[in-house]
Structure 1
Amino acid sequence: MNRVESRSLRYFVAVAEELSFIRAAERVGIAAPALSRAISGLEVDLGVRLLERTTRSVALTEAGAMLLADARAALVALDAAVRRARRAAGVAGGKLVLAVKADVEAGLLEDVLAAYRAEPGAVPIEVMFTGWREQPGLLRAGEADVAIVIEPFDTDGLDAEPLLREPQVLALPTGHPLAERPRLRLADIEAEHQQVAVGAHVYVRHGEQSPPFGDMVQMLRQIELGRMLALFPVSLAERNARPQLTWRPVDDAPEATFAVAWPQNSHSLAVAAFVRIATAVSADRGTSPTADAT
């Protein structure tokens, strides 16, 4: 019978990451001798040596390194399950947390929320506005139940269903030479610019590094300052008209695909209802038509 408890795993992770019983003891809030006994007990339970200890150092064994990777994943999953359970118990009937990046939802948000709230037996829904591409991590951590995302995104541990596709347009600073053309192709962009990463839709001049940005507002400001160019869904362009930016269609740019995503291990009826409603609303709307953004 497996007698390993989550407390023992937390103690082990602390020691393995700190490589110091004193620092790890401070981190988990127990005395160092008690922590040492707990780790020794864990080694006895598992029948393997996890740490090599001397009076001056602590090092992981091969078995310890393997356990560290698995223990981290197990504790993340456990913490996520606890958060979901506590959140569900917080109000009568539970609630659903939807993670979405403001303005990066193809204009679906209002219609999907209205349709979901009209569903018989729908639980309260809380909208969590996130930073750029933060939604997958929030789903895996149990801080959100479902999300509207734009592909590609980190799908590890997640399921997803496509919702809408729409054209992408290029955001560039007003006065940029490419802004003088009514329509562009990717070759026009790549003549003097490179992607900051494979598959990315952000471009900088050849030989330059991507400027720092943490959210959409910062991205658009960097573009206004001439530090980069970027492709965005046309619906986002329509919501972000400003004098310092010019938006141009790119005829051969890949379409933006919006999707609804949720954890693979979710058994929530509320999540299932939201996914069903989101796909129905997007099907009624259909693929967004191609539009010229200026």
Structure 2
Amino acid sequence: MGSQAEFGIDRYRGGMDRLETRELAHFLALAEELHFGRAARRLGISQPALSRTVARLERRVGAPLLLRGGREQALTGAGRVLAREAAAVLAAADAALHRTRRAGQHEPRLVLAVKPGGDGGLLPALLAAHRAGPDPVRVDVLLCDPAERVRLLHDGTADLALLHHPPHDLTGLDTELLLTENQLAVLPRTHPLADRPRLRPADLAGEPTVRWQGTSGPDRAGPEVRDLTQLQQLVALGQAVAVLPESVRGQLRADLCGIPLLGAAPTALLLAWPEHSTSPVTAAFVRTAAALVAA
């Protein structure tokens, strides 16, 4: 086993904090392409320049990052770790840039990411309560696909989001519970079960069930959808059934029905924000939401 001096660890002690985002971006492109030529073209640099960057990174971390040989490359264990960490560092840097730019604006504002129709009917009251507060700031409501909301929080585009749990992954987020809802089975009115006053999950066994884009689906997952319009069209065509929060009932098409689904786990409507947020305007909005729900 090589000595620390052999791997240059003494020279670059604490070297990870000397890594540049440009170097990490170059290595991440190579890790994704696993080919020096393709990665260099993607980055708009020469292949020798990319090779020098990788060699410099290997000296700094004190371990090989690639298994060389042949035209295609493979990552070593250290290379896989660096690729994963590089992706996280670059995402964090982008998020920091987004948040810093907004913090530097003359007029403070908040960006709230919401799925169309996914507010449980609370959004108008929530915005009104915020405007009536002591120090209201402008709130831009960003309507987006279901899967986008978590990404927008993590990359700094949004300060807050309204999420349903399940199915969203809440890793890295803080949340405030706004509403707990029972669930509905959404079926075409021509479905054999459509005349039932209530259903149980077992009644839907064998039925393909739609799932939101970017989220995990049930055991028998059906087609993936981006929005409520897509979902309703697929259900109306008999391609799948859906399980949705009770507040969606008023938005259903005339050719669909919503039947209470007894025994299904309730869904929670949450106000979510990045767990490392130190924004006082975000904190004020969360306090307003909590007070509204408590009242």
Identify whether the pair has TM-score above 0.5, normalized to the shorter chain.
yes
Cα distance in 2, alignment partners of residues 18 and 187 from structure 1: 45
Q: 1:203 to 1:182 in 2, by over 3 A?
A: farther
Q: Secondary structure at the match of 1:154?
A: coil
Looking at structure 2, the residues matched to 260 and 275 of structure 1 have their Cα atoms a distance apart, in angstroms, of 8
Structure 2: distance between partners of 1:194 and 1:219: 12
**Residue 225, structure 1, aligned to residue 237, structure 2:** yes
Which residue number in structure 1 is paired with residue 149 of structure 2? 135
Q: Please give the alpha-carbon distance, in whole angstroms, between the structure 2 residues aligned to 1:163 and 1:271.
A: 16
SS at match of 1:111: helix
Q: Secondary structure at the match of 1:175?
A: coil
Deviation at 1:62, TM superposition (A): 2.2
1:195 CA displacement: 5.7
CA contact (8 A) 1:163 1:257 kept: yes
- Equivalent of 2:137 in 99, 123, 126: 123
* Distance (Å, rounded) in 2 between the aligned partners of 1:11 and 1:265: 27
Structure 1 residues 185, 145: closer, same or farther in 2, change over 3 A? same
Question: Identity of paired residues, percent?
Answer: 43
Residues 43 and 283 of structure 1, relative CA distance in 2, 3 Å threshold? same
RMSD across aligned C-alpha pairs, in angstroms?
A: 2.4
Match of 1:236 among 221, 245, 248: 248
Instruction: Give the ranges of 4+ consecutive aligned residues of structure 1 lying more than 4 Å apart after TM superposition.
Output: 194-197, 199-204
Which residue of the other structure, out of 212, 222, 226, is the alignment partner of 1:210? 222
Partner of 1:25: 40
Using the TM superposition, give the Cα deviation of residue 19 of structure 1 relative to its aligned residue in structure 2, in angstroms: 1.9
Q: 1:35 to 1:176 in 2, by over 3 A?
A: same
CA distance 1:29–1:185, shift in 2 (3 Å)? same
Residue aligning to 1:270? 281
Residue 99 of structure 1 aligns to a residue whose secondary structure is strand
Contact 2:188 2:235 (8 Å CA) reproduced = yes
> What's the counterpart of residue 272 of structure 2?
261
Q: How far did residue 73 of structure 1 move? A: 1.3
Tell me which amino acid in the other structure corresponds to 2:192: P
Preserved contact between residue 175 and residue 270 of structure 2 (Cα < 8 Å): yes
Matches within 5 A, 1:1-294: 1-2=14-15, 3-54=18-69, 56-89=71-104, 91-152=105-166, 153-190=168-205, 193=207, 210-240=222-252, 242-284=253-295
Q: Is the 8 A contact 1:201 1:230 kept in 2?
A: no
Cα 1:101/1:17, change in 2 over 3 Å = same
State the 1:119 CA deviation: 2.5
Q: Would you say the 8 A contact 1:165–1:257 is kept in 2? A: yes
Displacement of 1:83 after TM fit?
Answer: 1.5
Match for residue 287 of structure 1?
none
More divergent stretch after superposition (49-58 vs 268-277): 49-58
Letter in 1 for 2:175: A
Distance in 1 separating the partners of 2:72 and 2:198: 63
C-alpha distance 102-246 of structure 1, shift in aligned 2 (>3 A)? same
Q: State the secondary structure of the residue aligned to 1:211.
A: strand
Aligned residues: 276
Post-superposition shift, 1:177? Answer: 1.8
**Aligned AA (2:120):** A
* Shift of residue 239, structure 1, vs aligned partner: 2.7
CA distance in 2, matches of 1:255, 1:179: 21
Deviation of 1:34 after TM superposition, in Å, equals 1.9
Q: CA 1:53–1:224 in 2, change beyond 3 Å: closer, same or farther?
A: same
CA spacing shift, 1:170–1:221, aligned 2, 3 Å: same
What do the CA deviations read for 1:97-148 (whole angstroms, capped 9, x no partner)? 1011111111111111111123233332111111124311221121211111
Instruction: Provide Cα deviations, 1:200-256, integer angstroms capped at 9, x if missing partner.
Output: 78797xxxx61342221111111111122222222111133x321112223333322
Change in CA separation of 1:225 and 1:4 when aligned onto 2, cut-off 3 Å: same
Tell me the secondary structure at the aligned position of residue 178 of structure 1: coil
